[in-house]
Amino acid sequence: MAFNFFCPTCANLLLVDVESGQPLFKCQTCPYIYSVDREISREAQLKKKEVDDVLGGSDAWKNVQTTTVPCPKCGHGRAYFMEVQTRSADEPATLFFKCEECGHNWREG
């Protein structure tokens, strides 16, 4: 038996009441009560949404400058960097780094 979680008499959402010891579905607006006599469950696959790369993807690191800064992952002394205004204009910009050696990304600011 398929069960929807809406009242069959007034179509309002049914609330779960477990205070009486036995789980019940109760309507807030009319006297409808459904006694739960078995386990009701439903599985749904979650679809992960695609996340856009806010830095521009693989093309973002083309033609960027390098600086002498140690990589926190491998200790290499040079990294690519770019400055991006991620907050409001009166806030300082954020520096994004990418290690020349291992490709590790990190940010400062």
Q: What are the φ and ψ backbone dihedral angles of 34, each rounded to 5 degrees?
A: -120, 120
> Is 6 a member of any domain?
yes
Residue 81 has pLDDT above 60, yes or no: yes
Query: Is the domain of 34 the same as that of 65?
Result: no
Average pLDDT estimate for 65-89: 90
CA distance 80 to 39: 57
> Is 48 a member of any domain?
no
Please say whether the beta carbons of 75 and 98 come within 8 A.
no
Q: Which residues pair with 27 in a beta bridge?
A: 14
7: exposed, middle or buried (Cβ count in 10 Å: 0-12, 13-18, 19+) = buried
CATH number for the domain including 5? 2.20.25.10
pLDDT digits (tens, 9 = 90+) for 34-76: 888 877 677 889 898 887 666 666 677 788 899 999 999 999 9
> Is 49 a member of any domain?
no
Average pLDDT estimate for 91-98: 90
**pLDDT averaged over every residue in the chain:** 84
CA distance 92 to 19: 54
pLDDT at res. 50? 80
- Domain total of the chain: 2
Query: Is the domain of 39 the same as that of 76?
Result: no
pLDDT at res. 97? 92
pLDDT at res. 23? 84
Query: Is the domain of 11 the same as that of 36?
Result: yes
